[in-house]
Amino acid sequence: DLVFDLQSNETLSFGTGGMGNVYLPYPYWVKANVVDTKIGGEVNNVVMPWASTVGILDLPDLPFKVTPLVSTTEYGFIDMNLRNLRPNSPTFSEVTENNFVLSDLGVALEHPNGSRMVIFGDADWISETASRFNNNVLLALNVIDWLAQEDNLASVRSKVVSERNLVFSSDTHRNIVQYTNIGGVPLAFIILGLVRFLQRRSKGFRNKWVVASNKGDENIAGPEDIK
């Protein structure tokens, strides 16, 4: 299977057949949440390209303690058919709220004897393609520290992380935030400039009126000038 997330995903550049590139959200590149801060430190999310789910079986004789490490948001979906992986795949429009599921994409395992292990649904998140995402690199280093039982290093290294993932409840919500950021700032400057222009124009008009009034007063004769 492959997992996609309709609300928390990466925006990628896609070719348009000789007409240049366009940037589109790509749900199959999931911006997954790092849910175990003991391992992830302050890394909040990582990009998981074409990832599969990791199932946790609650077996009575399982010697390992299994802890979710990376998961989708509640808007995740498990694609079992893999019919179309394009950014405009019709699969996305066929999903309903009843199909959404929070899925684990990575888990950590601990044995009572001290041995440790991590399992991810895909290895592309640490490939050269995804290494441009700083959080991916930091999580990989933090996982290595945890496996080497150097847990304290994860919290120290992750102090530099400042990314925060934005999750939108719908496409309308996403579009409102996007276009408000695009048009809101220029519009605010235009309004501010217009207000400033009107203030200066009004001030200039008052100054002209005062000068004209003073000139008019000079032409009025005082009592000592009357003979």
Supply the pLDDT for residue 98: 87
Contacts of residue 146, Cβ cutoff 8 Å, sequence gap at least 6: 38, 39, 108, 116, 118, 154
Q: Residue 183 — very low, low, confident or very high, per pLDDT cuts 50/70/90?
A: confident
Rounded to two decimals, the pTM is: 0.64
**pLDDT tens-digit map of 112-150:** 998 999 999 989 999 888 888 999 999 999 999 999 887
- Cα dist from 59 to 43, 64, 70, 106, 118, whole Å: 30, 10, 21, 18, 18
Cβ 22 vs Cβ 14: under 8 Å: yes
Structure tokens at 119: 């399992």
Contacts of residue 67, Cβ cutoff 8 Å, sequence gap at least 6: 36, 107, 108, 109, 110
- Cα dist from 198 to 11, 91, 192, 208, whole Å: 42, 54, 10, 15
Q: Cα–Cα distance between 65 and 33 in angstroms, integer?
A: 20
* Statement: residue 104 has pLDDT above 90: yes
Nearest to 163 by CA among 25, 23, 31: 31
Q: Cα–Cα distance between 161 and 82 in angstroms, integer?
A: 34
Q: Residue 162 — very low, low, confident or very high, per pLDDT cuts 50/70/90?
A: very low
Structure tokens at 225: 């000038």
